[in-house]
Amino acid sequence: MSTTVQVPAGLTAAQVQAIATANPGLILALPMPAGVDAPKDVHRERILGWLDTLEQPVEAGVALILPPPVGLFLSGITKLAIGAWRTKLNGTPAQERWTAAQMAAERDSLPVPKT
């Protein structure tokens, strides 16, 4: 299984190399260009995983810690909020940022030096 991580600008080349060597399968990626979001699909899957993990403990904690009427109310609100978030994330289509056509256009836009 591969993992992608952005190369932090503050690391030296030796540090980056050490990370790559110590972590087979680690994919070192450049920082995202300014104004470009990280792929939503990866974040989406990660957040969905967190929601699955956190939902029950959060609901149970709210219900246990607070007095019954308030606890039950807030637990219900929490459940609704997490459910809405999950629905929204599930509805977000996974997508690629670079299509083959965009790549070809970028390749073909390269100029040859005139002089």
Among 8, 60, 77, 81, binds other proteins (CB under 8 A): 8
Helix (H, G, I), strand (E, B) or coil at 8: coil
Task: Work out the angle at residue 91's Cα, subtended by the Cα atoms of residues 90 and 96, and round it to the nearest 5 degrees.
Answer: 90
Report in angstroms how near the CB of residue 86 gets to other proteins at its nearest.
15
99 binds other proteins (CB under 8 A): yes
Asked if residue 104 lies in contact with residue 85, where contact means CB atoms within 8 angstroms, the answer is: no
54 binds other proteins (CB under 8 A): no
The residue whose two tokens read 């997490």 is 82
Query: Of 83, 24, 94, whose CA–CA distance to 54 is shortest?
Result: 83
Task: Work out the angle at residue 5's Cα, subtended by the Cα atoms of residues 29 and 44, and round it to the nearest 5 degrees.
Answer: 110
Report in angstroms how near the CB of residue 74 gets to other proteins at its nearest.
28
Report in angstroms how near the CB of residue 46 gets to other proteins at its nearest.
5
Report in angstroms how near the CB of residue 77 gets to other proteins at its nearest.
28
* Contacting residues toward other proteins, per CB under 8 A: 1-13, 16-17, 19-20, 27-34, 36, 39, 41-42, 45-46, 94-104, 106-107, 109-115
